[in-house]
Structure formats: C-alpha cells, structure tokens
C-alpha cells in the first residue's frame, strides 16, 4: 500500500505507520448539512422540460467512525410552481480514501418506485463523479417501461462562493430506449 503525504508517495512500511489511519475528507466537511436550490429537469422524448425546487440533506450515518466513512442522504424535488412532489430518493455514500482528499466513493440509492442504484466512482476535495456499473441497477417486477439502464451523478462544490457555499448537482440517465443524457441539473446553496 502507498499513500500520498504532501507531494510525496510514501510506500515504506515504517513511514506508513506514522501517517494518520483516517485521511481527512474535505469534501464531506463541505457537503454535510442541508442544501436548497432550483433545478431544471427533462428527459426527451419522454419527459418535457420542467423546473423544480431541490432539497438535499447529508449527514453522518450509523455506524460512522474511523473505519466506517459513511454518510446518508435524502433528496426531494418539488415542482417549482405547484410544490407537487416530483421525485425523492435516499441512500448512502461510502468513502475509501486513497490519498489526502482523493479516493473512491460508493453510492447506494433507492427511490419510491423501487429503482435501486449501486454506483462507484471517485472523489476529490470539492467534487465526486459516480456511475452505475456491473448491472448496478435493480427494480421490482411492477416497474414500468422504459427501464432505466444506467445512471451517472456528478457533484461539484464551490466553497469559495460568497455569501454561502454553492453546489452544482447533475444526474444523467439512460433507458432501454434512449442513450445517456442529462436528466436533472440543480444549483443549490448550503443553508446556515
């Protein structure tokens, strides 16, 4: 095993013992909390363009500790004009640090429709990018067509934004009838 310490690669077993076991996760220090904002969704040709209000809550999950770097999330989208609920999902993010502020991330997400997603990807200090892999989607027998066949999620934090931190969150999706394309794009602001 080798780790990055500053600008150096450390692969000496004796030196590795001196490095902290849990590398800091700057991304989660930014992400943890409540985010609210607006977004635009569409999925041609099935779903015409719509605007929504998006609320995303991220908090430490149980168990959580030095060996269990797990956070839970809950996301709700409501129609911007009518406040009607459009979509909700909840799940977990598991982080596997490889370097300081970089590593692998796993996302498990489920929706009321029964669609369940297992995605993997990478993270840095201000973003993550995950996609469903290895048949990482499952659905109940009652699911309606067209079936979702792939999902990609991308998130970027802008911590330097004044007066509040902002986030751009994008969901891309493919179905058995359409190629991968953008489905949701939200711009959120961290709540105090």
Each of the 192 residues of the chain gets a pLDDT tens digit; together they read 454 455 554 555 555 455 454 555 778 888 899 999 999 999 887 788 999 999 999 999 988 877 788 999 999 999 999 999 999 999 999 998 888 788 999 999 999 999 999 999 999 988 999 999 767 899 999 998 889 999 999 999 987 766 788 999 999 999 998 999 999 999 999 997
Q: Using alpha carbons, list the distances in angstroms from residue 82 to 7, 52, 122.
A: 52, 9, 36
- Of 186, 189, 188, 190, nearest to 50 by C-alpha is 186
Secondary structure class of 64 (helix, strand, coil):
coil
Please state the pTM of the whole predicted model. 0.83
Tokens representing residue 111 in the block: 């929706």
Distance, in Å, from the CA atom of 158 to the CA atom of 125, rounded to the nearest integer, reads 10
Is 95 in contact with 28 (CB distance < 8 Å)?
A: yes
- pLDDT value of residue 138: 93
Token pair 């993997």 is at which residue? 120
- pLDDT value of residue 161: 65
């Amino acid at each position: 095993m080798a780790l990055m310490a500053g600008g150096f690669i450390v692969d000496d077993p004796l030196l590795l013992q001196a490095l902290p076991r849990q590398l800091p996760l700057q991304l989660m220090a930014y992400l943890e909390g409540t985010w609210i904002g607006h977004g635009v969704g569409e999925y041609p040709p099935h779903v015409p363009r719509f605007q929504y209000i998006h609320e995303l809550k991220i908090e430490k999950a149980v168990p959580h500790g030095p060996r269990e770097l797990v956070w839970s999330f809950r996301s709700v989208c409501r129609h911007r004009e009518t406040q009607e609920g459009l979509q909700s999902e909840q799940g977990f993010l598991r982080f596997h640090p490889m370097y300081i502020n970089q590593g692998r991330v796993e996302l498990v997400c489920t929706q009321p429709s029964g669609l369940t997603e297992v995605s993997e990807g990478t993270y840095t200090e201000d973003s993550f990018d995950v996609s469903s892999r290895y048949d990482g989607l499952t659905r109940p027998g009652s699911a309606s067509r067209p079936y979702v066949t792939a999902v990609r999620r991308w998130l970027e934090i802008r911590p330097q934004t004044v007066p509040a931190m902002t986030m751009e969150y994008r969901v891309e999706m493919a179905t058995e009838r359409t190629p991968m394309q953008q489905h949701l794009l939200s711009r959120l602001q961290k709540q105090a």
